[in-house]
Structure 1
Amino acid sequence: MHKDPRKLQHRCALAHTGSMQRPIDYHHLESLIAFLTVARLGRYTAAANVLGVNHSTISRRIASLQQAMGGRLLTRSAQGWELTDLGRRAMASAEAIERAVAAIGSADEPGQVTGHVRVAAPDAFSAHLAAPTLAKLHEIHPQLLFDLVSETTRARQGRTGMDLEIVIGQPQVRRAVSHLLLKYELRLYATKRYLDLHGTPGKLEDLREHALNYYIDTALTVDKLDDATSGLPPMRRAISSNSIAVQYSATMGHGGIGLLPTFLSRHYEALVPVLHDQFTYESEYWLVGREEALRNPAVQLTATALHEAAERGDWHLAPFAPVSSAANS
């Protein structure tokens, strides 16, 4: 039996929170969208950027919704805007309305997921795992859009407008959910030409005579990566960069010895393992997201896809293809 769409619209318009029976008029739908976006991202400015409006518009819409609901929905904290008890009840109703609207819009395409998901991840993870994974998701769900920000930072106490963050090392954050994605190793590599010119180290102490390609010390904010060199003797720096692609390029260009992730290095024939029997450093990728963001079906689907790709070791080398040993010998 078909339901009268006018009755469905009436129920959505009269959606209430807990015992709050105040009707929400149609002009409050924009306010509900603003509220959901702030709740998921934790920042008015981030919500404004996503929705294409200014900060004052978001503030005005939230104030209008709070007046209609009869209380505060959000409270400011060091971690960004957080839900009050009334806000948590309001979010459940707002999500129900969002799902109803999405169902109407995808009636001709059942099973399709729509939305705009913002992901931040380190350079190597972004280029070689996240981008190919998100491309496959977009192919299956054309209305699912992504912003992929490539950055290598620690998980932030204050949320930054990202639905999901991939970070290196176990995050210590409050009011967020974190999951281990995968463990990996950093090891030393060089080209045959570099080793022929500068000698092959036979023990760790020999590294004092060699140059290292790694992150810029003063720009590195990730403790796990900073600690990686603690097991090595002091080495002069050759080419330092916050980009793993630059570190690979510098190493394959014979500029020094690179401290590089093994999940990519094993595919580069030009790279010769250095002291692998004496040195390795274990690290890991973690996925972090606000609880409110992870309730969004689009974010849930994205997090699941990234987790499954990481478990499979589904790395793609397209962004900087392997350079043959013949070209670098």
Structure 2
Amino acid sequence: MASPLREPQLDALMTFLAAARLGRYTAAAEVLGVNHSTVSRRIAALEEAMGGRLLVRTAAGWDITPLGRRALAVAERIEASVRELAEEGGAVQGMVRIAAPEAFTSVFLVPAMAALQARHPALAVELIAATQRVRQNRSGVDLEIVVGRPQVHRAYATPICDYALVLYATPAYLAREGTPTTIAELARHPLNYYIESSLQVDELDRAIQALPASPASIRSTSVFAHVEAAAAGAGIGLLPDFLGDADPRLVRVLDGVFSHPLGYWAVTRDEGPRNPVVAEALSAIREHIAALPGKG
């Protein structure tokens, strides 16, 4: 006769919840303030108590088993109940990790999270500024903001806002080098943009496919380097319109002739929308952008 299963401990269940959401034991350990071995030990104890594997390693990373989804549902109900007790005064607590492109992080994400944290001082926020394609597996973030509609499995994706890549230069540069009136005339002007070999986002790569080859120019992995290169008179910058229009040093080039429309999308793993902290963060981002002129 099989021995009765030991009752799962609450700390083991909450540890599993963190690991399931973040996809890495190390990330869960950081959030919980414990070490990697503690996370591994707790999850192993929970699997022993429940009589099977909760997480399995696949080619795409950690995946949750059917038994794990049962444990996840229980853990989320407990989390919601505990949070309900703690949030009678409207407070949200815990940690949210968000990865987003550099420009989005600085212009939209930081002020949105500052406002959210002002309302909920117990909420910790970690922002990872990175312009890259969406991750195909859980990799330590709760929410990702990416350029273009993402193609990813077992994830929830929703549009956040639209923008465009537009050409900008200083009046002094245009007076010195001439103002191009056609796309073909751009061939005489250095184009400040991303380093082609390091560009990971297809939508950003497509933006320059309609433009002629550029003379030697300043290229960078940082969008703010593109802005500063254009502002320093080093050529024409291909910039997000919300950065270029806001910079008094720059004017549009070929306005009405060239513009590459893009959009930001938010991506969460399948557990993400049920995480109240992630839901609050996503709501705060939407509210902040909707309140901006021309974005609402």
TM-score band, normalised by shorter chain: over 0.9
The question of whether the paired residues in 1 share the 8 Å contact of 2:56 and 2:65 is answered with yes
Determine what percentage of the aligned residue pairs are the same residue. 48
CA distance in 2, matches of 1:105, 1:307: 25
Aligned length: 291
What is the correspondence of 1:148-163 to structure 2 with a 5 Å cutoff? 148-163=127-142
Tell me if the contact between 1:78 and 1:157 (Cα under 8 Å) persists in the aligned partners. Answer: no
SS in structure 1 at match of 2:98: strand
Preserved contact between residue 129 and residue 314 of structure 1 (Cα < 8 Å): no
Q: Within 5 A, what are the aligned runs for 1:161-310?
A: 161-310=140-289
Partner of 2:32: 51
Distance in structure 2 (CA, Å) of the matches to 1:32 and 1:64: 10
Say whether the 8 Å CA contact 1:117–1:147 is kept in structure 2: yes
How many Å separate the matches in 1 of 2:62 and 2:198?
A: 28
Partners in 1 of 2:38 and 2:210 — Cα distance? Answer: 52
Per the TM alignment, residue 237 of structure 1 is displaced from its structure 2 partner at its CA by: 4.1
1:112-169 alpha-carbon deviations (Å, 9 max, x no partner): 1111000000011000100000000000011111001111000011221100000001
Per-residue CA distance 1:157-207 (angstroms, 9 max, x = gap): 122110000000111110111111111111101001111221111211111
The separation in 2 between residues aligned to 1:280 and 1:167, in whole angstroms, is 19
Structure 1 residues 105 and 311: CA distance shift in structure 2, 3 A = closer
Which residue pairs with 1:91 in the alignment?
72
Which of residues 33, 46, 57 in structure 2 aligns to 1:65?
46
CA 1:196/1:116 → structure 2, altered by over 3 Å: closer, same or farther? same
In 2, are the aligned partners of 1:41 and 1:293 still within 8 Å (CA)? no
- In structure 1, stretches of 5+ residues that fail to align are 1-20, 316-329
Q: Quick one: distance in 1 between partners of 2:114 and 2:293?
A: 13
Deviates more, 1:91-100 or 1:304-313: 304-313
Aligned to 1:322: none
Which residue number in structure 2 is paired with residue 17 of structure 1?
A: none
Q: Does 1:117 align with 2:117?
A: no
Distance 1:216 1:68 in 2: 52
Using the TM superposition, name which of 117-126 and 43-52 deviates more: 43-52
TM-score, normalisation: structure 1: 0.84
Match of 1:78 in 2: 59
Contact 1:182/1:285 (<8 A) preserved: yes
Note the residue ranges of structure 2 that are not aligned, 5 or more in a row: none
Deviation at 1:104, TM superposition (A): 4.0
RMSD of equivalent CA atoms? 1.8
